[in-house]
Amino acid sequence: MLQVSVYRYNPETDEAPSMKDFEIDTQGKDLMVLDVLHLVKEKDSSMTYRRSCREGVCGSDGMNMNGKNGLACITPLSEVVKNGKLILRPLPGLPVIRDLVVDMSLFYEQYERIQPYLINDTPAPAIERLQSPEDRDKLDGLYECILCACCSTACPSFWWNPDKFVGPSGLLQAYRFLIDSRDTATRERLSELDDPFSVFRCRGIMNCVSVCPKGLNPTRAIGHIRDMLLSNAT
Amino acid sequence: MSALRTLEFDAIIVGGGGSGLRAGLQLAQSGRKTAVISKVFPTRSHTVSAQGGITCAIASDDPNDDWRWHMYDTVKGSDYIGDQDAIEYMCNEGPKAVFELEHLGLPFSRTEQGRIYQRPFGGQSKEFGKGGQASRTCAAADRTGHALLHTLYQANIKNNTTFLNEWYAVDLVKNAKNDVVGCIAVCIETGEKVFVKAKATVLATGGAGRIYASTTNALINTGDGIGMALRAGFAMQDMEMWQFHPTGIWGAGTLVTEGCRGEGGYLINKDGERFMERYAPNAKDLAGRDVVARSMVLEILEGRGAGEKGDHVFLKLDHLGEEVLNKRLPGILELSKTFAHVDPVKAPIPVVPTCHYMMGGIPTNIHGQAITVDENGKDQIINGLFACGEAACVSVHGANRLGGNSLLDLVVFGRAAGQYIEKALDQGIEYDEASESDLEASLARMNRWNESTGGESIPALRAELQECMQNYFGVFRDGPYMEKGIAQLKDLRERIANAHLEDKSDAFNTARIEALELDNLLEVAEATAISAYERRESRGAHSRNDYTERDDANWLKHSVYMPTTKTLGKRDVNMAPKLIQGDLLKHFEPKVRTY
């Protein structure tokens, strides 16, 4: 039997959040945390969480598992359970709507702020724009972001200034477009980021790197943006 | 008197996956007041899971590639019940739609020349089947769906599309003349019910793989648009045609792209034999998906399956080398390690055919206009209703979809629906208002759940439905077994109508969403079951032990399921493409299908 302790909060009935315990029979299997949540929901249908692809590509089920952010659907119990106990909390730092569901508006606003789309004002050719394999390789490690918010909600700088610091996820995406050989708005993009908060609040804590379920490295991307900002300034 | 708030738009699109976002983009660019209603944040839609690529004759790998070869492959792949006007439109318009995606920023993999990288996929040929294997699937590594969906979402942000994210569409609203004038939707976060009124309602709700116990599909693929259309009394086409993907990870159901076999991987049985050489001597592992899936099941039934229960075969990739695997199939390495505990660099992946794609759906023309069939069997355009993507049956996939054609279908027909609606709005669309009782009718289902006081639990009923479909309507089908399945579904219908929604709260009530989804699963399952039972032949993905041959004399037809009578009619397959006439042949004649 697995001891599962889950953060519960229903805004209609609860004045304050609380932790609720469940005993779950895993039948000795090394289930994914999401499978355990399904079993909890079979016991208590009011248990609330987001989920979709259940294979780690849609980014719905980011949550805090025994103290570390990650995706429930690709985290096996053997990776997180300590002393026979699984503790599940919502992603930290964002307002809770209900149970493990957080309000991600601030996170999405920071994403939209960096203009997450290709800008190229030259007329498009009749076929695709050409890009060398070497230039395309520069997008690897950047475009794979799934917007799960595990990184930004593990970042103390984002907790402190979620409205002004873009956060690791948004900055990873910013760099994805800054470095794309097809994008022509590099200068404008950099000037949008050139203030004390948007980029420079990153303190290199690297929580983002340690939690990213896709193995991406926002800290490195932020370092590249800093370099670009500094060389742009001179 | 209902106190429903009304939100009014020129066009609404239900579903934020590939086709919905492509339609939304088209309409947002035209400046029309458009909203995309999505039950999940759009990048969580199932398009994100597509891996291998988007098939299209962009002539990158082969400068002489020809969209008509792609058309030939698709017609043959469909086992000749794909509509040739629609297939022609898709293959011919495809390059434009793919280049548009690239211009929007989609990070395609590249060739040394800087062009889009294309890989071989199943069922692809050059020169109308005579020129050997083609490489026609445009790829962004093995994350093409993710790259495509994010790119389209980004383009919608750029064009200020209105999104109603985490809103759930409950049922269509029809006026007294049976025109569709919008839908009832609920804001999941607050529980508020709203009448979303529109001159055009596009169902882009995707597939319904969750009617089966074992599926590659996301948990959200519950056929909501199909359920809505069936409850509104509209016809459904070719619902017996479900694709079982050869390579779902054994036990977990997660997809392993056909691109693995395109890059040189192959299937082996427990003896290490490359068995596809026996079933498809020419195309081998790159035969049509229906052919490969059946061959795998036969291997297992004949005792050559692997594992303690002999219930799976293997996909071998290690001979490709670590470098190729890291470069071309990085996502597969991740998925295999996570869900099969196998590193494909060193060992083969255990795989089994797994429900993957719904070829059937809401019948439409190439403009996305939904069609139903009247008492005399004649096509009738449904005013106000459109469909595109997997929810639609236009039909480009017929009885079996080719790999890489679903992403192309999404963008080509999402775009086409958007273009058509834009023009129709310019010309002016006026429908009668829905009355209070029309709105009440669309709220009935929601009210039923909200008033339930006891009964069986939702997860248990859902699991039983999925087991039923898995047992009786899988890769091979048989009349007497299907009769059992149909009887069980009838019983389930009664029990689901009396099932219990325990949680009646408003804020982010996912139990209520799952209840509403269960209704849709049941509608899709029943349409599938009756269509499968009534199509008395074997064609494409529909394979019967009691009718083993294709029967062109009687069944070179679409099946049309009518929900009001629960009966199956037929509809002619379009054999009149417009562009290839004179050029070649009038159309592609049905032939015996071998690979």
Percent of chain A at pLDDT exceeding 90: 98
Query: Chain B residues with CB inside 8 Å of A60's CB?
Result: 40-41, 44
CA angle B593, B594, B595 (to 5 degrees): 130
* Ligand-binding site membership of B15 (annotated): yes
Q: How many CA atoms lie within 13 A of B24 on its CB side?
A: 33
Say whether B231 is catalytic. Answer: no
**Beta carbons of B254 and A55 less than 8 Å apart:** yes
Q: In angstroms, rounded to a whole number, what is the distance separating the alpha carbons of residues B193 and B188?
A: 9
User: A118 to chain B: nearest residue by CA?
Assistant: B105
User: A115 to chain B: nearest residue by CA?
Assistant: B158
Task: Show which of B353, B370, B400 is a domain's final residue.
Answer: B353
Long-range contacts at B541-544 (CB < 8 A, ≥ 24 apart): B541/B241, B541/B242, B541/B243, B541/B244, B541/B289, B541/B290, B541/B293, B541/B359, B541/B399, B541/B400, B542/B240, B542/B241, B542/B399, B542/B477, B543/B290, B543/B294, B543/B475, B543/B476, B543/B477, B544/B476, B544/B477, B544/B478, B544/B479
Mutate to test the interface with B, among A53, A139, A148 (most CBs of B within 10 A): A53
**Beta carbons of A117 and B158 less than 8 Å apart:** yes
* Ligand-binding site membership of B94 (annotated): no
3-class DSSP assignment, residue B132: coil
Picking from A52, A133, A182, the nearest residue to B220 by CB comes out as: A52
**Beta carbons of B502 and A45 less than 8 Å apart:** yes
Q: A122 CB contacts (<8 Å, ≥6 apart)?
A: A184
Sign of the torsion formed by the C-alpha atoms of B453, B455, B460 and B464:
negative
Residue type, B363: P
User: A130 to chain B: nearest residue by CA?
Assistant: B114
DSSP code for B229: H
CATH number for B313:
3.90.700.10
Mutate to test the interface with B, among A75, A78, A143 (most CBs of B within 10 A): A143
Q: In angstroms, rounded to a whole number, what is the distance separating the alpha carbons of residues B407 and B52?
A: 10
Domain for residue B530, yes or no? yes
Number of structural domains found in chain B: 2
* Ligand-binding site membership of B448 (annotated): no
Q: In angstroms, rounded to a whole number, what is the distance separating the alpha carbons of residues B113 and A57?
A: 30
What is the distance of C-alpha A71 from the center of its chain? 9
**Closest C-alpha among A66, A160, A171 to residue A113:** A171
Match 């259309």 to its residue by tokens. B229
Q: In angstroms, rounded to a whole number, what is the distance separating the alpha carbons of residues B476 and B111?
A: 41
Q: What are phi and psi of B34, to 5 degrees?
A: -125, 140
Domain for residue B21, yes or no? no
The sheet with strand B133-138 has its strands ordered as B54-55, B133-138, B118-125
Mutate to test the interface with B, among A57, A114, A120, A169 (most CBs of B within 10 A): A57
Size of interface A-B (CB pairs under 8 A): 149
Q: What are phi and psi of B374, to 5 degrees?
A: -85, -175
If chain B, 595 residues long, is cut into consecutive pieces of 10 residues, what is the mean pLDDT of each piece? 84 98 97 97 98 97 97 97 98 98 98 98 96 97 98 97 98 97 98 98 98 97 98 98 97 94 97 97 95 96 95 97 95 94 96 97 98 91 98 98 98 98 95 96 96 96 97 97 98 98 97 98 98 98 97 98 97 90 73 92
Give the mean model confidence (pLDDT) for residues A212-220.
98
Please state whether the peptide bond connecting residue B395 to the residue before it is cis, i.e. omega within 30 degrees of 0: yes
- Residue in B68, B289, B512, B593 annotated catalytic: B289
Least confident interval from A1-10, A73-82, B88-97, B575-584 = B575-584
* Ligand-binding site membership of B406 (annotated): yes
* Ligand-binding site membership of B245 (annotated): yes
Q: In angstroms, rounded to a whole number, what is the distance separating the alpha carbons of residues B271 and B305?
A: 9
Q: In angstroms, rounded to a whole number, what is the distance separating the alpha carbons of residues B331 and B329?
A: 6
Query: Chain A residues with CB inside 8 Å of B40's CB?
Result: 50, 52, 58, 60
Question: What's the pLDDT at B595?
Answer: 92
3-class DSSP assignment, residue B184: strand
Domain for residue B233, yes or no? no
Residue type, B390: E
* Ligand-binding site membership of B505 (annotated): no
Domain for residue B342, yes or no? yes
If residue B201 lies in a helix (H) or strand (E), which one and from where to where?
strand B193-203
**If 0-12 CB within 10 Å is exposed, 13-18 middle and 19+ buried, where does residue B592 land?**
exposed
Q: B588 CB contacts (<8 Å, ≥6 apart)?
A: B71, B72, B75, B76, B80, B84
CATH number for B536:
1.20.58.100
Picking from B46, B110, B219, the nearest residue to A133 by CB comes out as: B110
3-state helix, strand, coil in chain B (%, to 5): 40, 20, 40
Question: What's the pLDDT at B586?
Answer: 72
Domains in chain A, start-ordered, CATH in brackets?
2-102 (3.10.20.30), 105-232 (1.10.1060.10)
Picking from B41, B116, B219, the nearest residue to A54 by CB comes out as: B219
Q: In angstroms, rounded to a whole number, what is the distance separating the alpha carbons of residues B431 and B201?
A: 13
| B506: its two tokens | 């408003």
Q: How many CA atoms lie within 13 A of B80 on its CB side?
A: 17
User: A100 to chain B: nearest residue by CA?
Assistant: B508
- Is there a contact between B365 and B385 (Cβ–Cβ < 8 Å)? no
Where are the alpha helices (H) located in B44-112, listed in sequence order? Answer: 67-77, 84-104
Domain for residue B482, yes or no? yes
Task: Show which of B338, B353, B368 is a domain's final residue.
Answer: B353
Sign of the torsion formed by the C-alpha atoms of B242, B246, B250 and B254:
negative
Domain for residue B492, yes or no? yes
**Beta carbons of B49 and A127 less than 8 Å apart:** no
CA angle A33, A34, A38 (to 5 degrees): 120
Q: B32 CB contacts (<8 Å, ≥6 apart)?
A: B10, B11, B421, B422, B425
**Given its phi and psi angles, is residue B576 left (phi above 0), alpha (psi -120 to 50 degrees) or beta?**
beta
Question: What are the DSSP calls for B325-371, one per residue?
Answer: HHHH-HHHHHHHHHHT---TTTSPEEEEEEEEEE--BEEB-TT-EEE
Q: What are phi and psi of A196, to 5 degrees?
A: -70, -20
Neighbouring C-beta atoms of residue A130, cutoff 10 Å: 16
Q: In angstroms, rounded to a whole number, what is the distance separating the alpha carbons of residues B546 and A80?
A: 51
Question: What's the pLDDT at B1?
Answer: 41
A154: closest CA of chain B, how far (Å): 21
- Is there a contact between B146 and B44 (Cβ–Cβ < 8 Å)? no
3-class DSSP assignment, residue B109: coil
Owning domain of residue B494: 454-559
Domain for residue B60, yes or no? no
Give the mean model confidence (pLDDT) for residues A12-27.
97
**Beta carbons of B114 and A126 less than 8 Å apart:** no
Residue-wise burial string across B137-172, b where 16 or more C-beta atoms lie within 10 A, e elsewhere: bbbbbbbbbbbbbbbbbbbbbbbebebbbbbbbbbb
Domain for residue B529, yes or no? yes
Query: Chain B residues with CB inside 8 Å of A12's CB?
Result: 505-507
